[in-house]
Amino acid sequence: MEKIKTQITAALKALGVKGTVSISPAGYQRYQVELNEEYFGIFDVSRNTFVD
């Protein structure tokens, strides 16, 4: 899970987004990302990008 959190944090940094990140599973190789306790999107670890 630490590798996934690092991957998602790097993607958020590349987008210029800052804040408190919460991650929860949302399907096969997909994770729901919340930023500052608000929904941000779904991250696909195999594509290394947000898909929603």
**What mean pLDDT comes out for the span 17-29?**
94
Quote the distance between the C-alpha of residue 27 and its chain's center: 13
**What mean pLDDT comes out for the span 26-40?**
95
**What mean pLDDT comes out for the span 29-36?**
96
Residue 34 in contact with residue 21, Cβ under 8 Å?
A: yes
Residue boundaries of the structural domains of the chain: 2-50
Mean predicted lDDT score pLDDT of the chain: 94
